[in-house]
Amino acid sequence: MDSFLQQLTRGNAIYLIIVTGIGGTFQSGYHIAGLSSPSPFIQRFVNSSWFARYGEVPPPHTTTMIWSLIVSMFAVGGFLGLPVLESCLPSLEGERKKAMMCSSCIAIVAAVVILTSKMVASFEMVIVARVLHGFSGGLGSSIHLLYLGEISPRKIRGMVTFTVTTFNCLGKLSGQLFGLSEILGREELWHVLLCVPACLAVVNILLLPLFPEAPRYLFIEKGDETACKKALQSLWGPGDYKEEMEEMLVEQAAIEAAPPTTPLQLLRSRRARWALFTLFLIVTCNQMSGMAVSTFSYNLFYKAGMPKDRIRYVTLTIGAAEITTSLFGGSLMDYFGRRPLFCCGYGVMVVSWVLITVTVWFQDSAYWVPYLTVVFVVMVIVSFCGGPGGSVNTLNAEIFVQSERTAAVVMVGMQRWLMYGLMGLIFPFLIVALSSYCYVLFACSCLVGCLYTFFILPETKGKTVLEISEEFGAMSVCGMAAAKNKEPLETAL
């Protein structure tokens, strides 16, 4: 059997993964982590803009509130981008490529706005640009997940969809790298730093038309078997792809009588209830697991006693560890399965957050304690990226049939952005109010995720989309119904 890399390079799949990645989750990852390094410069820009306008320095709580708005408006934009995905796909005839190109155009407009903001001394324009960046990130990352989920064969679906997380991590690492003072992390260049992804958005617009539409979309939604087979051969190399075509044919037959599902219809669907609940709970646990440290890492390490001149290099090390984990996470997923990655990832995060609480509390007891905090933060981020953070995208792409997938991606994405926005808004105040005890809340959230995925979540490795959907549809409150006789089968819980 060919290795994963050999299967990618037989056709053009690897190039499509790269092009969709730089226009998809790379954009949102960059803007999540890229805001950490220039945060003191942006806050000084807010103060100077306020002073130039009103002749006085704003109170500290006002600066904190405006800074929190700048952070959280990115999530508001992402939240608004998801309903647009649901409404714009029909007008674009469902084509994923056109929708992603529109997302890249919005990213370019946002870059122009943020470049102009410093010239006119307007922090409001920074907020507007963050909304546009979030809109583009929410739209692009959702299409990225849809696209990869529909082009990947079943045997390597986990590894292909895990690249969604890889590009998100690459975006974070790039934001941290360009944020170094030796590159663009200087006070006079912070606005240029936040516009770097726009260059890749231009590349995405130029190259994406050269690739075919998703085979699963062409076959199931368009009914074009010839175009589907041609797309499979273009992406994955020569072959008859009989197994993939038969799987799509079975799925098409199962949903032929059902039109594409809207989010409201999906909420009322009894069959999709447990699948939605599972994703909602996992996304909530992920967002409440303390991953706001990606954006507020500068503040976190500063409060932990880390010297200012070393913080940016520490965050860069964390970004490198994150992307390294994501590169191996896909192969681990298809080897061990989804459940072990969720359970082990959440479990390590529980222990790490408890230890971070202790080290932050005793940060002044010895000079090496802040560095111990860094080690535990790396453990949190690596465990998250290689476990629940990366696996949730694969789960999102494979537990819904074609007619439900877009609505599910929209709903789960809206919840993810809403939770991210709330955490971005309250995290600075949470640190002030609870000090090191706020990390105990994160540990409790991870514990809930660990228990649910260990006792309830069914394994999806090596199964077709229809089999997975039926398995979730057979679940009940007291357990899971057996697929053959529909009799209750008690889970471990």
**Residues 380-438 pLDDT 10s:** 888 888 888 878 888 887 888 777 877 888 888 888 888 877 776 677 677 677 777 77
Which amino acid, one-letter code, is at 214?
Answer: A
| Token pair 């050999």: residue | 6
Q: What is the dihedral of CA 420, 421, 422, 426, to 10 degrees?
A: 100
DSSP 10: S
127 and 424 in contact (C-beta within 8 Å)? no
- Within a 10 A sphere around the Cβ of 137, how many other Cβ atoms? 32
3-state SS of 300-355 is HHHHCCCCHHHHHHHHHHHHHHHHHHHHHHHHHHHHHCHHHHHHHHHHHHHHHHHH
* pLDDT score, position 487: 39
Q: Give the residue ranges of the chain where pLDDT is below 50.
A: 1, 91, 93, 479-493
Tokens representing residue 275 in the block? 């699948």
Provide DSSP, 153-190. -GGGHHHHHHHHHHHHHHHHHHHHHHTSTTTT-SGGGH
Neighbours of 197 (CB within 10 A): 30
How many residues are present in the chain? 493
Please choose, from the candidates 29, 38, 39, the residue with its C-alpha nearest in 3D space to the C-alpha of residue 172.
29
- What is the per-residue pLDDT for 300? 66
Structure tokens at 190: 């912070």
**pLDDT value, residue 297:** 62
Q: Look up the pTM and report it.
A: 0.79
Which H helix or E strand runs over 476?
strand 475-476
What is the DSSP-derived secondary structure letter of residue 36?
T
DSSP 87-112: HHHHHTTT-HHHHHHHHHHHHHHHHH
Through-space distance between the first and last CA atoms of the chain, rounded to whole angstroms: 38
Contact 83, 410 (CB under 8 A): yes
Closest CA to 107 of 23, 33, 176: 23
Residue type for position 292: A
Domain 4-211+258-490: CATH architecture, name and number where available: Up-down Bundle (1.20)
The per-residue pLDDT for 1 is 47
Evaluate whether 214 touches 150 at the Cβ level (below 8 Å).
yes
pLDDT in the model for residue 491: 40
The pLDDT of residue 86: 64
Contact in structure between 294 and 32 (CB atoms under 8 Å): yes
